[in-house]
Structure 1
């Protein structure tokens, strides 16, 4: 049996920069990890996430670093001894006992070195020298020539996490280190060099396709592979002169794996054993397998061409969000943190996460958690917002990286698409790259249209590949066309207000977003300005978008007044973010017959920052999280303009039809009913958006600045206002509060004495660890709502101060 021994304990770190005389000659190091974390753990640098400490750490990415380990070994001379590095970040020279065994140039692949002839009995010294990524980038620019990049740094000239070099939501923290496990493997005769597994359906049966490639040592002899799954055991023989074999395993009538909003996620343990002729175990492979069918429909239709994921023969609407690396130092993200983040996404009614191409292929634990949760995964290949050389040595690194990661990730039921790149085809077409890199200079298109699809077809033919996001299916069509493929909407936020979302009905929107600061607790933990203002040094430093703060205020125009205090700025910009995305999602879902996906930019953050995220870097929910939970609910009721009137639109993503009385009224904000209707039974079938035209006496206002439409269908309620808040005569907020202790904390009941629009309880202002179950609640006069707050802190009614903890749109427009 193959022996695997982790080499994680006893590492030390040193800096080869002679100018750094303040550093110890030897620094205790953690593997997996990185230089920044080791320096931070040893109190040698300030925390780069706090205040403006990021800029004091710039030197780290420009220095040369050495990790060293002395470990004991007892090689017996009969086995192959291999050092395996699952992740080396990034430009490194590896030596064993003073002899160079290899060089690495790619953060995203596994490296394996045969050290049988170098490994000694007793003490062995392993060293990994990390060279500056900046210095390597400068060399590569001379080699390839200039290639446009939308963000700083040479990330497009090497295979390293691009957002390390800074993004419009991320700091410049250029890492180096052994960010994934390191181990010594010992084996003889044969091992599994590559195991490709895919699972699909064949009629009512499950079909597991297996392709195995062996590495052999010594005299080749026959071997056998035994596969067990779902009660089926199957053995095949690999002849002595063979190194590869493919075979299928058929599993009768398995339970189907579904996205979480449609069904359960049964997973079947798969075991593959490599044995010699006598039955001795040589190597093994284990995975959890889910059975489901999958295809991407891009067929032409009356509106252009579709972009619809069909799972188990069901066309789904993707209620999604983009996922970025959850930490600037990915080794710090634990399996438990992955699970917690994915649980938060699921609780927000998200059914798809897009792993964005400027980051990393996440670790196995991420995809395993998505399999268990029924969370669909859109996986970008790692090309983002830049042009990429297609010449050597980058080309070979790309091929090796893609092969490693496709083989590693293809067994996961949650993974439903490989996507070639993020915005690079769009960038070439519309960002002014064309005149810079014309005349045959490579920029990445050969990867997206040739290299990647060929590799996917060879390795993982049962899963769709698409060349880019956005992309319209052909280079002959503008890449961000509403009528085809997937679209990004970024004039909204950057240039125009969120009302412009209604100008677009995309086939699938894979990016759209709106900014806001993190929660108050996260802001206070990370920035210590006194006073804290939108423009104070630390707050401003944690805003990476070009003119981001200006756009926050500009985006309020026509909706909410310009805030005059820090508290109001914080709440108004968070509220505006939530409303903008809720507005966009409801619009897109109301056109379900045309649009089959809304993927918000973005779900998570990698550090404390003003950004487009719904969940900030501390894992705290912003108001946007609650807006997404409401707008992505499998059953949505919304009021939308249709023709010269208004329609209530019921959208049903559940597996059962939705049949209910629908009723509504036009009323003054003081509660006076001006007109009402009731329709006994509206039927919205599963996977349908059903429109119900509102009667004219409901849809037309008498006094637009003091009226609202309220439509109800079972427990779902939709509101429509004829003017924006800045013109709406919202009353001064009046309400009563009562508290009752609960098992988890407190139930806070708020009873409206006046109309309350988008009422929020900012739980983190009571306790940084507190979580509230609901937010953005609109109450008519006399109505009550119970906020359930999870906290261990003792609270009283006096703690729930209006204007800081309890907020609503009213107090931005008409203060008490």
Structure 2
């Protein structure tokens, strides 16, 4: 069996030219390098640069992306009996040349794929010198642009030509990310010694039908030159074993395994996530299962489930269109999703624990689908392993975003090689349910003025309609492929149509109020979002402006959206008065973000059946920034996260306007332990803010799993006497929702009259709030007490006489009721109006 040896020790980083802007202390330095890692993190660890995430340091470090960099190490080598020794580079970022003992080994130009080089003839007994030199990715992209001809796409927010290099596009800046153009050995680099043959690629095609799970194992085999001896391919799964002889000289083989009545894998909330160990081995002769005889072994965990993308057309009629529904094990799933971006600008800092923590945050917010966005990465194995174990569906974009992409050499060849490699790498994961061709590029072709600028040149269409679907069909035919997001299914219909395919809704954030979400009833919303700043502890760790203000230099440098602060203000204006202080601005914009997404998701979910998914932009951030994220760049949960947890509950109760008046709408997704009919008494009341009941009505409602039901709210209950001091309250079991007849800035909220009691229970601090008045969207900001602290709940509305207990963990000290019970720790919608209106 072959031997692997990591080459992660003893690396030294040095500047290798490329620009005159390099500081003198860096130009001549030899820095101890961490591998896997990158230039930025090595320079930071050596104290040679400030933290790129703080204040305006990003701009002072632009020279790093225009530099060439050299990594060198020396290792000892003793020859063995193996026929081949390969240098395996799992990830080089990005344009690299490799030398071993002064001799060229190879070159690379793609961050998204691995490379393997035969170096047996270059190794020497004793000391060996390995050098990896990285040319500036930014300069390379500019050179390719000049060679192939400029193509539209990058805009004022992301002006660099990221579409001319196969590298994480958001490294070049985005409307939520800094320009930090990285270089380095970002994944493991190893020596692989082997003889006879190895498993070059293993693809398990997993299907389940009529109670039988089947795995077809397709193996590609690489042999040592001149070695044609017969082999055996063996596989083990759930107690089953299969073996097939590989003929002399054959470079591929396949075998089948069956598992009767396998436990099915489901997204969380719909069932469990059983995983099965699959092991595949090459054996040199008819040695039945002898462990010592294995030439090579491949092992993964797989899950049995069926997945389909239902795009069936509707019946003819005025509202006719076509579905966009993900079906798992034959069950249509309403996707309660979020978009995923790289969790750090420096991906090597994202390890298995961090992936797990972030995906656990997603699951805890009732998110059951993450869309891995096309301007980022095919994430590391640990991301998909966590998704498998937690039951989170993964929609994986191919890595094309917001630009037209050349299809000519050498980029075209790199795209196909990258796609084949990553489809094969990720296909064992049951969580992966959809391959998507690109992000917004087909939309750009239609609406962003590209056609006149592109003319008859290539721009990526060939990738999305030919290369990528062929790669998926040939490599992983068990999963659906969709050409783009948004896309209607044909170039004959606008890609962002409501009636077909998946849709992005961005005019709401960019141009108008979030009430505009009600203008759309799409089949599937793959992107929509609203901005809010990071938590206070994250903002003030990253920005040290004196005084701190929404428009102070550091805050603005952490706001990357075009006219982002203007859009925040425009989004506030219909709902809240103008903030008087930076603390009010921070609270109100965070609250407005949560309100906007709650508004949109409730509307879209109320049309469940026609609309079958909402994927908010976005779950996470890659650094401290004002953005659309629910979890900020320091992993703290913003108010939006708590709002998502509520609005993504498997049971949704919402009040929505319809043609015949207000309706209470009930959405019941059904879960593994709650798949029966939701039968409940519904109580509707119209009350004054002081608690007086002006209208009351009740009825019984039954909602089947996977469906919706509605009741019209009687006019005498729905019609207020004083709209600015009354609300509707709808209760169904443990679910409650409210409806207000005006905007916060106009409502006659009472001053919050409440009592706060603080007690300590072990490591937990409990804050019990009892109110004598209506208190809307009550929030406890634990990070204002201690940056390490977090709270279990937020945005709680209490009626007069009600109480709620907030649980704070991570406090490093005792706190008093007086400290907790006032701003900026305790906030609600009531006090915003009071403090800003005088």
TM-score normalised per structure 2: 0.96
Check whether the contact 1:11–1:68 (CA below 8 A) recurs between aligned residues. yes
Question: Residue 395 of structure 1 corresponds to which residue in structure 2?
Answer: 412
Question: Residue 47 of structure 2 corresponds to which residue in structure 1?
Answer: 43
Check whether the contact 2:371–2:396 (CA below 8 A) recurs between aligned residues. yes
**Whole-angstrom distance in 1 between the partners of 2:819 and 2:29:** 52
**Whole-angstrom distance in 1 between the partners of 2:592 and 2:487:** 29
When structure 1 is superposed on structure 2, of 498-507 and 247-256 the one drifting more is 247-256
Q: CA deviation at 1:801?
A: 4.0
Q: CA deviation at 1:190?
A: 0.3
1:791-816: CA deviation from partner (whole Å, max 9, x where unpaired): 24222112214220110011111239
Check whether the contact 2:233–2:253 (CA below 8 A) recurs between aligned residues. no
**Whole-angstrom distance in 1 between the partners of 2:444 and 2:739:** 38
Matched, 1:709 2:712: no
**Whole-angstrom distance in 2 between the partners of 1:536 and 1:232:** 65
Matched, 1:22 2:41: no
1:604-645: CA deviation from partner (whole Å, max 9, x where unpaired): 000000000000011100000001000000011110111131
1:775-805: CA deviation from partner (whole Å, max 9, x where unpaired): 1111111111111111242221122142201
SS at match of 2:174: coil
Q: CA deviation at 1:198?
A: 2.6
Question: Residue 329 of structure 2 corresponds to which residue in structure 1?
Answer: 312
When structure 1 is superposed on structure 2, of 308-317 and 223-232 the one drifting more is 223-232
- Which of 195, 200, 203 pairs up with 1:196? 203
- Which of 432, 456, 462 pairs up with 2:478? 462
Check whether the contact 2:83–2:193 (CA below 8 A) recurs between aligned residues. yes
SS at match of 1:484: coil
SS at match of 1:301: coil
Matched, 1:513 2:520: no
> Superposition RMSD on alpha carbons, in Å?
1.1
Question: Residue 374 of structure 1 corresponds to which residue in structure 2?
Answer: 391
1:145-168: CA deviation from partner (whole Å, max 9, x where unpaired): 011123221210010000000000
SS at match of 2:208: strand
Q: CA deviation at 1:134?
A: 1.8
Check whether the contact 2:228–2:248 (CA below 8 A) recurs between aligned residues. yes
**Whole-angstrom distance in 2 between the partners of 1:369 and 1:81:** 33
- Which of 439, 442, 445 pairs up with 1:425? 442
SS at match of 1:31: coil
When structure 1 is superposed on structure 2, of 534-543 and 763-772 the one drifting more is 763-772
When structure 1 is superposed on structure 2, of 402-411 and 796-805 the one drifting more is 796-805
Question: Residue 689 of structure 1 corresponds to which residue in structure 2?
Answer: 708
- Which of 266, 288, 305 pairs up with 2:274? 266
When structure 1 is superposed on structure 2, of 542-551 and 139-148 the one drifting more is 139-148
Matched, 1:240 2:248: yes
Matched, 1:698 2:701: no
SS at match of 1:814: helix
**Whole-angstrom distance in 1 between the partners of 2:238 and 2:506:** 47
Matched, 1:57 2:74: no
Matched, 1:739 2:758: yes
**Whole-angstrom distance in 1 between the partners of 2:546 and 2:227:** 73
**Whole-angstrom distance in 1 between the partners of 2:650 and 2:723:** 31
1:465-520: CA deviation from partner (whole Å, max 9, x where unpaired): 00000000000000000000000000001000000000001100000000010000
SS at match of 2:179: coil
Q: CA deviation at 1:747?
A: 1.4
**Whole-angstrom distance in 1 between the partners of 2:199 and 2:454:** 43
Question: Residue 488 of structure 1 corresponds to which residue in structure 2?
Answer: 504
1:334-371: CA deviation from partner (whole Å, max 9, x where unpaired): 10000000000000000000000000100000000000
**Whole-angstrom distance in 1 between the partners of 2:229 and 2:605:** 60
- Superposed, which structure 2 residues align to 1:576-587 within 5 Å? 576-587=592-603
Check whether the contact 1:589–1:689 (CA below 8 A) recurs between aligned residues. no
Question: Residue 6 of structure 2 corresponds to which residue in structure 1?
Answer: 6
- Superposed, which structure 2 residues align to 1:327-366 within 5 Å? 327-366=344-383
Check whether the contact 2:575–2:744 (CA below 8 A) recurs between aligned residues. yes
Q: CA deviation at 1:649?
A: 0.7
Question: Residue 214 of structure 1 corresponds to which residue in structure 2?
Answer: 221
Question: Residue 77 of structure 2 corresponds to which residue in structure 1?
Answer: 73
Check whether the contact 1:750–1:785 (CA below 8 A) recurs between aligned residues. yes
- Which of 816, 822, 829 pairs up with 1:802? 822
**Whole-angstrom distance in 1 between the partners of 2:787 and 2:682:** 41
Q: CA deviation at 1:133?
A: 1.2
Question: Residue 677 of structure 1 corresponds to which residue in structure 2?
Answer: 697
**Whole-angstrom distance in 2 between the partners of 1:701 and 1:231:** 67
Q: CA deviation at 1:77?
A: 6.1
- Which of 20, 31, 36 pairs up with 1:32? 36
**Whole-angstrom distance in 2 between the partners of 1:135 and 1:578:** 41
**Whole-angstrom distance in 1 between the partners of 2:59 and 2:693:** 59
Question: Residue 514 of structure 2 corresponds to which residue in structure 1?
Answer: 498
Any unmatched runs of 5+ in structure 1? none
**Whole-angstrom distance in 1 between the partners of 2:333 and 2:692:** 41
- Which of 779, 782, 786 pairs up with 1:763? 782
- Which of 132, 150, 153 pairs up with 2:136? 132
1:744-787: CA deviation from partner (whole Å, max 9, x where unpaired): 41111111111101111111111111111111111111111111
Matched, 1:144 2:163: no
- Superposed, which structure 2 residues align to 1:247-258 within 5 Å? 247-258=255-266
When structure 1 is superposed on structure 2, of 790-799 and 198-207 the one drifting more is 790-799
Q: CA deviation at 1:743?
A: 3.4
**Whole-angstrom distance in 1 between the partners of 2:227 and 2:296:** 17
1:270-318: CA deviation from partner (whole Å, max 9, x where unpaired): 1111111144111001111110011000010144000000101110100
- Superposed, which structure 2 residues align to 1:626-665 within 5 Å? 626-654=642-670, 655-665=675-685
When structure 1 is superposed on structure 2, of 650-659 and 774-783 the one drifting more is 650-659
Question: Residue 294 of structure 1 corresponds to which residue in structure 2?
Answer: 307
- Which of 549, 563, 568 pairs up with 1:533? 549
1:20-55: CA deviation from partner (whole Å, max 9, x where unpaired): 432243110000000000000000000000000001
- Which of 784, 802, 810 pairs up with 2:803? 784
Question: Residue 625 of structure 1 corresponds to which residue in structure 2?
Answer: 641
SS at match of 1:539: helix
**Whole-angstrom distance in 2 between the partners of 1:254 and 1:734:** 57
- Which of 559, 582, 598 pairs up with 2:575? 559
**Whole-angstrom distance in 2 between the partners of 1:271 and 1:247:** 12
**Whole-angstrom distance in 1 between the partners of 2:762 and 2:440:** 48
Question: Residue 178 of structure 1 corresponds to which residue in structure 2?
Answer: 185
TM-score normalised per structure 1: 0.99
Question: Residue 571 of structure 1 corresponds to which residue in structure 2?
Answer: 587
**Whole-angstrom distance in 2 between the partners of 1:485 and 1:698:** 39
**Whole-angstrom distance in 1 between the partners of 2:235 and 2:785:** 55
1:697-738: CA deviation from partner (whole Å, max 9, x where unpaired): 111222111110000001100100111111111111111101
- Which of 143, 161, 166 pairs up with 1:154? 161
Q: CA deviation at 1:202?
A: 2.3
Check whether the contact 1:515–1:552 (CA below 8 A) recurs between aligned residues. yes
Question: Residue 97 of structure 1 corresponds to which residue in structure 2?
Answer: 101
Question: Residue 342 of structure 2 corresponds to which residue in structure 1?
Answer: 325
